[in-house]
């Protein structure tokens, strides 16, 4: 998988003011405007702006369709090249607690890591992510494939210093699982899967696997080294043979309701070897509707 990633982790302190568990998920309303402020600074719509060439906002958040008709046919609208990992906050009043928000940058977005950090800092310090909780960023680090971290700092001139651990997609996809026929998966945030405009209240295993493959393939094609060599039709057929075992999934209601989705743990059972590269990358890229904004974050709980 010819794709470079940068996985950033923001250490936060969140106070105990009562609020909604989904408070931090309001980033999707605020982040695009804050990112525009720290990059081009304009309020003009991109379609009417004469300076889209060289502007970081347009290619990273504009989701411009490819000029290649075949690419449009295969992947439709391009995905966003960043993925927030957002925690569900504990309900009710609690003392100040530590928390983390992660941000995975994909392909060319890696070159604008400082802009992404500045935009997120504004969302937290100036907007409070749209909630009543007091949120403080205590530090930012770059995390490697096996969890190792390097602390990053921003200079007064806005330059990012520290060891940026660029992750190669091949290294992530090449991880192994000791048991390739029984893989435990834990959905840490609601996985949202739609059919005819309605949210699934259970997990359709084949649809989940096919969705992860499409998402990975689309990101590689748009921001990586071109098309993957996946035979989607063959993998789609194989996905129908994967079963759910020890199913402890449940539906988490959201506020508003469209933030709800499937959470909990389950074991995928069957011939999973062809799917493992996509599933390992999906830990960083998430799955389902709203994946870039924190939904569909899952972890493969395997001994690596």
What letter would DSSP give residue 284? H
176 three-class SS: coil
Q: How far is CA 32 from the centre of its chain?
A: 15
Beta bridge mates, 99 = 12
Which sequence spans correspond to the domains of the chain? Answer: 4-169, 173-300
Residue 47's pLDDT band (cuts 50, 70, 90):
low
* Terminal Cα distance for the chain, rounded: 19
Q: Cα Rg for the chain, rounded, in angstroms?
A: 19
Structure tokens at 79: 């995905």
In tens, the pLDDT along 245-276 reads 999 999 988 777 778 899 999 999 999 999 99
Report the predicted TM-score, pTM, of the whole model to 2 decimal places. Answer: 0.91
- Where is pLDDT greater, at 20 or 261? 261
In tens, the pLDDT along 129-145 reads 767 778 889 999 999 99
Q: Residue 68 has what pLDDT?
A: 66
Specify the fold of 173-300: Alpha-Beta Plaits (3.30.70)
Structure tokens at 7: 């996985």
Q: Which residues contact 218 (CB under 8 A, 6 or more apart)?
A: 74, 75, 78, 79
Mean pLDDT value across residues 18-40: 86
State the number of CA atoms in the 13 A half-sphere of 196 facing the CB: 0
Q: Which residues contact 35 (CB under 8 A, 6 or more apart)?
A: 57, 60, 61, 115, 116, 119
Mean pLDDT value across residues 279-300: 96
Q: Residue 120 has what pLDDT?
A: 94
Cα→Cα distances 105→30, 51, 241, 302, Å: 18, 24, 33, 24
Q: Pick from 5, 283, 3: which is nearest to 164 by CA?
A: 5
Q: Residue 300 has what pLDDT?
A: 95
Q: Residue 266 has what pLDDT?
A: 97
Q: Residue 89 has what pLDDT?
A: 82
């Amino acid at each position: 998988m010819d794709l470079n990633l940068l996985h950033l982790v923001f250490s936060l302190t969140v106070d105990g003011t009562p609020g909604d568990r989904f408070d931090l998920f309001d980033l999707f309303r605020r982040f695009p405007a804050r990112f525009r402020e720290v990059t081009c600074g304009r309020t003009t719509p991109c379609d009417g702006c004469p300076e889209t060439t060289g502007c970081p906002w347009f290619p990273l958040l504009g989701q411009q369709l490819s000029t290649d008709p075949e690419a449009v046919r295969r992947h439709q609208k391009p995905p966003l090249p960043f993925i927030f990992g957002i925690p569900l906050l504990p309900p009710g009043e609690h003392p100040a607690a530590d928390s983390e928000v992660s941000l995975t940058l994909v392909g060319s977005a890696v070159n604008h890591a400082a802009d992404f950090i500045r935009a997120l800092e504004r969302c937290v310090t100036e907007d409070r992510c749209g909630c009543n909780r007091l949120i403080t960023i205590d530090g930012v680090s770059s995390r490697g494939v096996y969890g190792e971290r390097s602390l990053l700092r921003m200079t007064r001139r806005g330059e990012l210093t520290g060891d940026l651990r660029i992750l190669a997609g091949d290294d992530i996809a090449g991880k192994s699982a000791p048991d390739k026929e029984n893989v435990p998966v834990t959905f840490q945030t609601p996985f949202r899967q739609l059919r005819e405009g309605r949210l699934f209240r259970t997990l359709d295993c084949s649809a989940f696997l096919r969705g992860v493959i499409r998402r990975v393939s689309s990101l590689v094609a748009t921001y990586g080294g071109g098309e993957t060599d996946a035979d989607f039709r063959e993998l789609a057929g194989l996905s129908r043979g994967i079963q759910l075992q020890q199913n402890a999934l449940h539906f988490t209601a959201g506020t508003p309701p469209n933030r709800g989705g499937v959470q909990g743990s389950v074991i995928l059972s069957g011939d999973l070897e062809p799917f493992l590269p996509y599933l390992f990358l999906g830990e960083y890229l998430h799955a389902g509707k709203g994946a870039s904004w924190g939904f569909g974050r899952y972890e493969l709980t395997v001994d690596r």
